[in-house]
């Protein structure tokens, strides 16, 4: 079994093992073991990848394998990774592990919960290793559909509404995406001859520009909706607010990155001409989204809504950076995917833990939590600083790179858009500090809160893993950004680079 | 003609023998021993299904009135397998007291319709085709009215009979026009002499309407919901899969052989009816509370997708239609199987009754979920692959906007399929359907359907196999 396929096989085996368990204690132990192996595999993959590159392998994708699946449609189970996917696989491994520990306390229908959660993870891993559009799409849908039951059954609040909204909007987007993917396939061989779904082969083909004009927006919106592209982001706040903790973590941390990754690799990467032509329109949307998300977060009093809108704002930066079409900004986009994955997962896990104790997410009903749960409150403070881009944390590295890249465009339109997006950081500081201040400082507003306990061991595992990742990435980003940069170079050949 | 060439008709001959054996057992046993009758019927049909898969030669008989090809034989086998699953699922219902002394009747009627469909598929002449069609329809009306004590069932029977007679009449009119235009009813002659004139175009429209009635294409779908609701659950299930799949297959082969010269006429017809069928079927399905009516509209919508493959006009499209039909049969049987099991046990057939089903009957819920997800087209379940390939085939032939309409329709359909999933998993219920055990046959029926929808999609070789067979149609 090759190193990449194992990334799918292990979660599937874990799911099967969970199906035979008897009680929730066995379930979570098996889930922890399975994701532990998965985490090790992810790190091992990074290591192997760096070794491979150091040994002088300059292929665009390494560890490639190809098996025929549907012969007549030339569909293959094609897998391979480059620096971008390796980085995102490592992110996924970390978030999934953290997510399992964050849902250690799930007792009601624990078996089903972990099965769906791991199915979601399987879909994500599969998506990142696939380089065949069809296979990729299959995994994409596998990752999306478990959300319906995860939110609908284990969620809170208006969960049925949120679950349905999320599923329909995401599946609707993926339906549009499907048309774009078939379009890429059909125009994959203008000279006649066998058609292909393989991304590497498609990258060498230039689709007729008039077809690109139809399919690029479909692909970009299809992926963008998952990456919270304004105005298709509305599923995100409701979905996150209703989802259980681990699902929010996984969804905001990893699943939404599928959108950014797809937009980068498929929409922009395979249809560069139309992308450059239509970039202005989507740039307006993303710039607006970044500012809108930040202001939206100011207005919220529910912790989860604050973080969900904050995600909308931060994810808009990713799509914005992708549309800059230069190596620096795109590098920033990928870094932002990873950084935001860690930070938002940390936030959602903290919110879940706080909610589990206080049973409210309204910031005005809480206060002074620093006095009763110093570890959780302290971590929340750290997460806040990381989120608003303090140097030393990962977000600083990512956002800095994005804006440096964006500023390379000298024309007025790009400048204004960049300044707009950059201004959202200021607003971010406002809502983050305001929420942290109300939540953590001041007097304790509710006497019942005085007896609340601090983080338990498994919660600490989640927090340590995530904070560790944020700090490591913030302190030593160069190897990561170097790895990503090298993989971006072949993709950028289709563009008139600056 | 020697005796050997009769063996080309093996599928039909065996089915006729089965009907006679059923009759004989009824005469000898007097239908007294319920258990024997049921076991005998099911086991015998299992043998028939297996024999069907044995290798067989192909060719024509009766001077071209009857023909077989690998694709036709495959379709017959798919129909047999589907009918076998229906048989497995019907046993627990036939065991009930209300059906005493009428068990064999059910099997005889259902196998008769199957014979009719087989002849219809194999027809090489419009007379044979019409005979087969009628043989498939009239016993079906009797089946729909099987619960004579139930007013709705009787109504369903009458409705089906009257409307089927009307559609047959229209189709006959079309056939007579074809005869007028080319003085022959043999497909081979018609293919040779077919040219576009007002007579043949009218004939196409009339024959299309007749078959569209059987597949329940909008605007010929009005009977569907009422008949499906009134007929017994298993009959509904049988009608929605076997009857529909055979008619769709025949329509496809007619369009590509006899009416191949009129492609520019039937392409827009298919285009419009496909859009209407998908959209209206989906929109009506949303409001349904009864599982049978729900599935009626769902199956109308699914029929619209089949047209995507036909309209593409390529071998890829046609092989995918067969592939999609096979998947559709298994998916529908999974859903109907569970609905039937619940109906037999509790008499409940409203979607609201399914609330909380997962807590009490997880296995049934899982089968139902697989079936619904397959119909909705969610990977890794087979329905996704079927739909994806239909879309690919349609887009390869340049039907971009038709495909866009179709994918948007899959989202509407996802909504209402999720409504059932929501009821089963999420909606709280004070008094959910209590846990019950299904009998052996029902379990096998559900397991086979589930294996079908899981395996057909995932194994790429199956599509490849069908593709290589479908040369026969072109």
Per-residue pLDDT tens digits for B26-76: 888 776 778 888 888 888 889 988 988 888 888 888 888 888 888 888 899
Contact A145 B460 (CB under 8 A): no
Q: Which residue has the higher pLDDT, B67 or B6?
A: B67
Residues of B in contact with A134 (CB under 8 A): 388
* pLDDT band for position B131 (cuts 50, 70, 90): very high
Q: Closest Cα partner for A49 from A80, A79, A78, A83?
A: A83
pLDDT-derived band of residue A498, with 50, 70 and 90 as boundaries?
A: very low
pLDDT tops 70 at residue B306: yes
Identify the CA nearest to B114 among candidates B36, B14, B26, B228: B14
Determine the structural domain holding residue A19 and report its residue range.
6-491
| Set of chain B residues whose Cβ sits within 8 Å of the Cβ of A186 | 392, 395-396
Model pLDDT for residues B436-453, shown as the tens digit of each residue? 888 888 889 899 999 988
A124 confidence band (pLDDT: 50, 70, 90): very high
Residues of A in contact with B388 (CB under 8 A): 134, 178
Which among B418, B427, B460 has the least Cβ separation from residue A167?
Answer: B418
Residue A496 covered by a domain: no
pLDDT in tens, A444-454: 777 777 777 77
- Check whether B417 has a pLDDT greater than 60: yes
Residues A181-206 have a mean pLDDT of 84
- Amino acid B83: pLDDT: 92
The number of distinct structural domains making up chain A is 1
**8 Å CB contact of A179 and B388:** no
- Contact (CB, 8 A) for B317 and B403: no
Percent of chain A with pLDDT over 90: 6
Mean of pLDDT values over A235-241? 86
- Round to whole Å and give the CA distance between A228 and B144: 51
Q: What is the ipTM of this complex?
A: 0.89
Is residue A77 scored above 80 in pLDDT? yes
Who wins on pLDDT, B85 or A438?
A: B85
CA B276/CA B218 separation, integer angstroms: 6
For residue B96, CA distances in Å to A481, B38, B92, B99, B305 come to 71, 12, 7, 6, 37
**By the 8 A CB rule, do A171 and A164 touch?**
no
**pLDDT tens string B313-338:** 888 888 889 899 999 999 999 999 99
Confidence at residue B474, expressed as pLDDT on a 0 to 100 scale: 47
Asked if pLDDT for residue B117 goes beyond 90, the answer is: yes
Per residue in B90-107, pLDDT (tens digit) is 888 888 877 777 888 889
Of the partner residues A138, A168, A186, the one whose CB lies closest to the CB of residue B395: A186
First to last CA, chain B: 27
pLDDT at B407 over 60: yes
Contacts of A127 in chain B (CB under 8 A): none
CA distances from B465 to A196, B256, B279, B468 (A): 20, 20, 32, 5
pLDDT of residue B110: 92
Q: Give the mean pLDDT of A463-474.
A: 86
pLDDT for A272: 85
- How much is the average pLDDT of B198-219? 90
Q: Which pLDDT band, with edges at 50, 70 and 90, does B116 fall under?
A: very high
* Residues belonging to chain B with any Cβ–Cβ distance to chain A shorter than 8 Å: 316, 319, 373, 378-380, 384-385, 388-389, 391-392, 395-396, 400, 403-404, 407-408, 410-411, 414-415, 418, 421-422, 425-427, 460-461, 463-464, 467
Q: Do B460 and A160 touch (CB under 8 A)?
A: no
> Given this model, what pLDDT does residue A190 score?
76
Of the candidates A73, A153, A168, which has its C-beta nearest B392's C-beta?
A73
Cα–Cα distance for residue pair A18/A24, rounded to 1 Å:
10
**A148–B391 CB contact, under 8 Å:** no
Higher-pLDDT residue of B16 and A458 is B16
Average pLDDT for residues A253-261, to the nearest whole number? 89
Residue of chain A minimizing CA distance to B458: A69
- A141 contacts in chain B (CB < 8 Å): 378-379, 384
CA atoms of A226 and B445, how far apart (whole Å) = 39
pLDDT digits (tens, 9 = 90+) for B356-371: 888 888 889 999 999 9
- Give the pLDDT of residue B334: 92
List residues in chain A touching B: CB distance below 8 A.
68-73, 75, 134, 137-138, 141-142, 145, 148-149, 152-153, 159-160, 163-164, 167-168, 171-172, 175-176, 178-179, 182-183, 185-186, 214
* DSSP letter string, A217-252: HHHHHHHHHHTT-TTS-THHHHHHHHS-HHHHHHII
For chain B, what's the residue count?
A: 474
Structure tokens at B144: 């729909």
pLDDT score for B1: 56
Q: B230-283 pLDDT, tens per residue?
A: 888 889 999 999 999 999 999 998 888 888 888 888 899 999 999 999 999 999
For chain A, the average pLDDT equals 86
> Are the C-beta atoms of residues A111 and A18 closer than 8 Å to each other?
yes
Distance in Å, alpha carbon of B396 to nearest chain A alpha carbon: 6
pLDDT of residue B31: 63
Q: Least CA distance to B366: which residue of chain A?
A: A112
Contact A175 B408 (CB under 8 A): yes
Q: How high does pLDDT run on average in chain B?
A: 88
User: For chain A, what is the total number of helices (H) and then of strands (E)?
Assistant: 22, 2
User: Which of A11, A178, A218 would you mutate first to test chain B, the one with the most B CBs within 10 A?
Assistant: A178
d(CA A486, CA A491): 10
Smallest Cβ–Cβ distance between A182 and the set B391, B410, B411 belongs to B391
Cα distance between residue A201 and residue A197, in whole Å: 8
Calculate what percentage of chain B has a pLDDT beyond 90: 31
Count of other CB atoms within 10 angstroms of residue A292: 19
Shortest Cα distance, chain B CAs vs residue A178, angstroms: 8
Beta-ladder partners of B327: none
Under 8 Å CB pairs connecting chains A and B tally to 87
How close, in Å, is residue B424 to chain A by CA atoms?
Answer: 11
Pick from B7, B6, B41: nearest CA to B24: B41
Confidence of residue A496 (pLDDT cuts 50, 70, 90): low
Both tokens of A58, joined, read 């300059």
Residue given tokens 């132990």 in the structure block = A29
Of the residues A127, A143, A157, A182, the best mutation for testing chain B's interface (the one with the most B CB atoms within 10 Å of its CB) is A182
- How far off is chain B from A313, nearest CA to CA, in Å? 27
The stretches of A365-447 forming alpha helices (DSSP H) are: 369-372, 374-387, 394-406, 412-440
Q: Where are the domains of chain B?
A: 3-472
- Chosen for mutation from B378, B383, B412 (greatest number of chain A CBs closer than 10 Å) is B378
pLDDT for the residue numbered B262: 86
The answer to whether B306 and B244 are in contact (CB under 8 A) is no
Q: Give yes or no for residue A386 having a pLDDT over 80.
A: yes
pTM of the model: 0.92
Q: Is the pLDDT assigned to residue A289 strictly greater than 70?
A: yes
């Amino acid at each position: 079994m090759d190193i990449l396929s194992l990334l799918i096989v292990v979660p599937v085996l874990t799911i099967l093992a969970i199906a035979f368990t008897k009680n929730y204690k066995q379930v979570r132990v098996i889930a922890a073991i399975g994701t532990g192996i998965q985490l090790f595999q992810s790190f091992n993959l990074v290591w192997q990848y760096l070794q491979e590159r150091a040994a002088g392998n300059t292929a665009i994708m390494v560890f490639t394998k190809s098996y025929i699946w549907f012969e007549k449609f030339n569909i293959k189970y094609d897998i391979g990774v480059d620096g971008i996917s390796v980085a995102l696989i490592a992110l996924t491994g970390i978030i999934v592990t953290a997510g399992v520990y964050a849902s250690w306390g799930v007792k009601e229908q624990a078996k089903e919960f972990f099965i769906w959660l791991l199915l979601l993870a399987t879909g994500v891993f599969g998506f990142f290793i696939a380089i065949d559009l069809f296979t990729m799409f299959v995994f994409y849908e596998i990752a999306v559909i478990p959300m319906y039951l995860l939110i609908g059954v284990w969620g809170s609040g208006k969960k049925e509404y949120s679950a349905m909204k999320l599923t329909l909007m995401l599946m609707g987007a993926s339906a549009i995406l499907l048309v774009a993917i078939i379009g890429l396939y059909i125009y994959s061989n203008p000279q006649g001859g066998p058609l292909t779904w393989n991304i590497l082969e498609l990258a060498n083909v230039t689709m007729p520009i008039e077809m690109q004009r139809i399919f690029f927006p479909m692909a970009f919106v299809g992926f963008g909706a998952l990456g919270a592209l304004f105005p298709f982001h509305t599923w995100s706040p409701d979905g996150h607010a209703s989802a259980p903790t681990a699902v929010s973590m996984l969804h905001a941390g990893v699943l939404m990155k599928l959108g950014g990754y797809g937009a980068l690799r498929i929409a922009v990467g395979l249809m560069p001409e139309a992308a450059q032509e239509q970039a202005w329109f989507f740039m307006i949307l993303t710039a607006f989204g970044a500012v809108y998300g930040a202001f939206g977060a100011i207005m919220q009093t529910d912790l989860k809504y604050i973080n969900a809108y904050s995600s909308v704002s931060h994810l808009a930066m990713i799509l914005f950076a992708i549309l800059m079409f230069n190596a620096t900004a795109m590098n920033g986009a990928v870094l932002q995917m990873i950084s935001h994955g860690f930070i938002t997962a940390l936030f959602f896990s903290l919110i879940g833990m706080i909610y589990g104790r206080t049973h409210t997410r309204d910031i005005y009903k809480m206060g002074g939590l620093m006095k009763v749960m110093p570890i959780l409150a302290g971590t929340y403070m750290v997460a806040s600083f990381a989120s608003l881009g303090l140097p030393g944390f990962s977000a600083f590295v990512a956002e800095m790179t994005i804006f440096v890249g964006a500023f390379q465009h000298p024309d007025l339109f790009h400048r204004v858009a960049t300044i707009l997006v950059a201004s959202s950081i200021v607003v971010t500081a406002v809502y983050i500090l305001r929420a942290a201040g109300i939540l953590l400082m001041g007097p304790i507003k509710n006497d019942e809160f005085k007896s609340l306990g601090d983080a338990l061991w498994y919660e600490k595992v989640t927090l340590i893993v995530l904070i560790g990742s944020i700090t490591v990435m913030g302190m030593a980003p160069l190897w990561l950004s170097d790895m990503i940069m090298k993989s971006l170079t072949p993709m950028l050949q289709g563009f008139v680079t600056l | 003609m020697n005796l050997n060439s009769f063996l080309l008709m093996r599928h039909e001959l065996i089915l006729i023998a089965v009907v006679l054996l059923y009759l004989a057992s009824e005469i000898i046993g007097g239908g007294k021993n319920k258990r024997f009758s049921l076991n005998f019927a099911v086991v015998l049909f299992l043998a028939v299904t297996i024999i069907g898969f044995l290798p067989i030669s192909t060719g024509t008989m009766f001077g071209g009135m009857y023909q077989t090809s690998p694709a036709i034989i495959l379709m017959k086998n798919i129909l047999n397998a589907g009918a076998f699953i229906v048989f497995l699922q019907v046993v627990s219902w036939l065991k009930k007291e209300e059906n005493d002394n009428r068990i064999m009747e059910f099997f005889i009627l259902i196998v008769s319709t199957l014979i009719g469909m087989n002849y219809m598929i194999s027809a090489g002449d419009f007379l044979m085709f019409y005979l087969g069609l009628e043989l498939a329809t009239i016993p079906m009306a009797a089946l729909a009215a099987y619960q004579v004590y139930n007013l709705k069932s009787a109504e369903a029977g009458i409705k089906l009979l009257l409307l089927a007679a009307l559609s047959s009449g229209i189709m006959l009119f079309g056939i007579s026009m074809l005869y007028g235009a080319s003085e022959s009813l043999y497909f081979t002659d018609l293919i040779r002499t077919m040219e576009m004139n007002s007579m043949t175009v009218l004939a196409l429209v009339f024959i299309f309407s007749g078959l569209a009635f059987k597949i329940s294409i909008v605007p010929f779908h009005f009977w569907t919901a009422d008949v499906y609701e009134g007929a017994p659950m298993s009959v509904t299930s049988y009608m929605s899969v076997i009857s529909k799949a055979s008619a769709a297959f025949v329509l496809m082969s007619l369009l590509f052989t006899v009416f191949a010269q009129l492609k520019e006429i039937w392409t827009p017809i298919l285009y419009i009816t496909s859009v209407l069928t998908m959209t209206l079927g989906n929109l009506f399905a949303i409001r349904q509370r009864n599982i049978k009516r729900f599935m009626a509209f769902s199956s109308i919508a699914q029929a619209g997708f089949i047209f995507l493959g036909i309209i593409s006009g390529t071998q890829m499209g046609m092989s995918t239609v067969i592939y999609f039909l096979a998947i559709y049969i298994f998916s529908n049987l999974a859903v109907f199987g569970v609905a039937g099991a619940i109906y037999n046990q509790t008499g409940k057939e409203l979607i609201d009754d399914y609330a909380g089903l997962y807590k009490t009957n997880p296995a049934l819920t899982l089968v139902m979920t697989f079936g619904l997800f397959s119909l909705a087209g969610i990977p890794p379940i087979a329905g996704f692959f079927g739909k994806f390939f239909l879309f690919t085939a349609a887009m390869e032939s340049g039907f971009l906007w038709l495909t866009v309409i179709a994918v948007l329709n899959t989202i509407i359909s996802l909504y209402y399929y999720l409504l059932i999933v929501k009821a089963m998993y999420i909606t709280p219920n004070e008094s959910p359907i209590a846990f019950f055990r299904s009998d052996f046959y029902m379990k096998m029926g559900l397991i086979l359907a589930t294996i079908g929808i899981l395996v057909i999609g995932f194994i790429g070789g199956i599509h490849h196999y069908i593709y290589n067979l479908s040369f026969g149609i072109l």
